[in-house]
Amino acid sequence: MRVNIRRLTVAGALMVVFWLAVMYSSVIDVPGALSSKNSVQDIENRIDNLQKQVEQQMTESNLLLARVKEHLKAKSQAKEEGKDIKDNNVEYSLNNLVLPVLLIACDRVTVKRCLDNLVKFRPNKDMFPIIVSQDCGHNATYQVIKSFADDDPTITVVQQPDQSEIPLPRVKVKFRGYYKIARHYRFALNHVFKTLGHEAVIIVEDDLDISQDFFEYFLGTYPLLLKDRSLWCISAWNDNGKKDVIDMSHPELLHRTDFFPGLGWTLRRETWLKLEAKWPEAFFDDWLRDPQNTDGRACIRPEVSRTFTFGKIGVSKGLFYDMHLRAMQLNMEYVEFTALNLTYLLKDNYDEALASTVRALPEMTADEVIAHPAGGSPPAVKVTYSNAQTYQKAAKKLGLMDDFRSGVPRTAYRGIVSCFVRGRRVYLAPSFQWTKYDPTWG
Ligand code: UD1
Ligand code: MN
């Protein structure tokens, strides 16, 4: 029995030791404890990573937010500066728009032809009242105009009251007509802006035909004149408007020009008040072509003219009419200008686009342009000039007018003349860094 108890005690002790050993190993034993320690580390690492990712995302989101804020700020600034054409002010001016037509007449009874077309194509009588200003005191012409005014209260006639002879030195007598025209324009524009108080006016002469979309053209482009302070006029005329040098498939295309085209044009009151103070005694159109008189501002002109002059016999000689004016193309396709986006004509968009287009174009000589009709390639090229002589040579070759006024070539914008010859767009461009026109050219 004694032995058995001892054995039992030993066995019990052994079991306790074994149990303790098992327990101990379960607490501190090697492999299991090591892996759980690793997973804690893992989790900590992952949390660290997550935190880093969240921080990175926060930084990115903040950057994004800053960019969005910057964009919104720039947008509202652009709107304030008037880069967005139809902002509230312009919208207001357009909703209340009255854009009268001022018709300059003298002694030609054919003013009827002009009035007939104005009446025929006028989309809205109240929006486009017609004011005829007559010079010359010619009764037969007055009667023609009066017959229109008698029938329609939105057509009125006023007569230029000062019919006195303008005293001129002998050498200038042959230019008398130009003195009378400048005097008449001063009276007529003062009548429209000062007496009648209009905001803007479309000016036409008594020997102009107009296109069907003449009024739509001036309506659609008027917001440009309101918004873009670097513009002072919108004209319906392309001085290089002959069939052979325009793209008839793009009657909607418009351009900026530094050369005042006249012959159907819109002028605002605020510009008139500045011009009137220094208005010339004669040759008002060439005077308006001197950048000094218009603060270097530009006009809009169409690819395809919206007016045509049938006045062969007038103040200037009929030779110019037969050589150039007779061949001018009047637009025949109605374009809905009020539905078009014309923001490409705003200075900020236009200047950079034109410069980079011309910079990137392949070069050809005027002779090559004429000798190789496009056939699709290249669709556009530049022809460069370096002085007045090389300009005139290239212009003549291409079929363009080659004259200058105050150093500005006809239809030029920042020294570049854009035309369409033998199936391709051609830019006659300076080979040098252009900064301004040289008045000694021409
Ligand atoms: C040219 C221009 C014309 C410009 C004029 C002034 C062309 C095709 N024409 O006239 O746009 O206005 O030079 O430099 O480039 N008139 C008067 N009083 C007169 C004589 C004429 O008011 O004593 C009026 C006419 O009615 C007409 C305008 O002035 O509306 C131009 O006269 P016109 O005889 O047509 O001369 P252009 O040689 O065409
Ligand atoms: Mn004329």
Task: Report the CATH number at residue 289.
Answer: 3.90.550.10
Cis preceding-peptide flag for 373 (omega within 30 of 0):
no
310 alpha carbon, distance to own chain's centre: 29
Question: How many structural domains are present in the chain?
Answer: 3
Distance 205 CA to ligand 2 centre (A): 7
Structure token digits, residue 440: 């000694």
> Residue 109's closest CA among 132, 128, 88, 125?
132
Is 356 within a domain?
yes
Asked if residue 315 and residue 300 are part of one domain, the reply reads yes
**Ligand 1 contacts CB of residue 285 (under 6 A):** yes
pLDDT at res. 3: 44
CA of 309, closest atom in ligand 1: 8
The 3-state secondary structure of 34-78 reads HHHHHHHHHHHHHHHHHHHHHHHHHHHHHHHHHHHHHHHHHHHHH
For residue 41, give its domain range.
2-83
Is 385 within a domain?
yes
CA of 134, closest atom in ligand 1: 22
Is 435 within a domain?
no
Last residue of a domain, one of 59, 83, 107: 83
Asked if residue 261 and residue 234 are part of one domain, the reply reads yes
Last residue of a domain, one of 83, 102, 137: 83
Is 137 within a domain?
yes
**Ligand 1 contacts CB of residue 309 (under 6 A):** yes
User: Amino acid letter at 22?
Assistant: V
- What's phi and psi for 134, nearest 5 deg? -110, 130
Asked if residue 173 and residue 122 are part of one domain, the reply reads yes
Query: Residue 200: helix, strand or coil by DSSP?
Result: strand
- What's phi and psi for 108, nearest 5 deg? -105, 120
In our burial notation (b when 16+ CB lie closer than 10 A, e otherwise), range 208-246 reads: bbbbbbbbbbbbbbbbbbbbbeebbbbbbbbbbbbeebb
Selecting among 285, 286, 402, 438, the annotated active-site residue is 285
Is 440 within a domain?
no
Last residue of a domain, one of 25, 49, 83: 83
Asked if residue 352 and residue 338 are part of one domain, the reply reads no
What lies within 8 Å, CB to CB, of 400 at 6+ separation is: 240, 245, 410, 411, 417, 419, 428
Asked if residue 425 and residue 383 are part of one domain, the reply reads yes
pLDDT at res. 97: 94
Asked if residue 296 and residue 204 are part of one domain, the reply reads yes
Is 39 within a domain?
yes
Is 442 within a domain?
no
Q: What is the mean pLDDT of each run of 10 residues along the chain (442 residues)?
A: 50 52 44 54 76 71 63 54 66 87 98 98 98 98 98 98 97 97 98 98 98 98 97 98 98 98 98 98 98 98 98 84 95 98 98 98 97 86 98 98 98 98 97 98 96
pLDDT at res. 169: 97
**Ligand 1 contacts CB of residue 315 (under 6 A):** yes
pLDDT at res. 13: 54
Residue 331 DSSP symbol = P
pLDDT at res. 47: 72
**Ligand 1 contacts CB of residue 135 (under 6 A):** yes
Asked if residue 328 and residue 371 are part of one domain, the reply reads no
Query: Closest ligand to 134 CA?
Result: 1
Query: Closest ligand to 111 CA?
Result: 1
d(CA 348, CA 344): 9
In our burial notation (b when 16+ CB lie closer than 10 A, e otherwise), range 9-20 reads: eeeeeeeeeeee
What CATH number corresponds to the domain at position 374? 3.10.180.20
Q: Whose CA is nearest to atom 7 of ligand 1?
A: 263
**Ligand 1 contacts CB of residue 178 (under 6 A):** yes
What lies within 8 Å, CB to CB, of 211 at 6+ separation is: 121, 217, 236, 305, 306, 307, 330, 331, 332
Q: Whose CA is nearest to atom 28 of ligand 1?
A: 205
Asked if residue 283 and residue 219 are part of one domain, the reply reads yes
Torsion sign over Cα 109, 111, 116, 119:
negative
CB-facing half-sphere around the CA of 248: CA atoms within 13 A: 11
β-strands 424-430, 380-385: how paired? parallel
162 carries an active-site annotation: no
Asked if residue 254 and residue 105 are part of one domain, the reply reads yes
pLDDT at res. 39: 72
> Residue 196's closest CA among 204, 187, 184, 208?
187
Going through 138-199 in order, the beta strands assigned E by DSSP cover: 155-159
**Whole-prediction pTM:** 0.83
**Ligand 1 contacts CB of residue 180 (under 6 A):** yes
Asked if residue 358 and residue 267 are part of one domain, the reply reads no
Residues 8 and 16 sit within 8 Å (Cβ to Cβ): no
321 alpha carbon, distance to own chain's centre: 30
Asked if residue 353 and residue 320 are part of one domain, the reply reads no
Is 147 within a domain?
yes
Asked if residue 237 and residue 168 are part of one domain, the reply reads yes
Residue 404 DSSP symbol = E
Distance 308 CA to ligand 2 centre (A): 10
d(CA 311, CA 290): 25
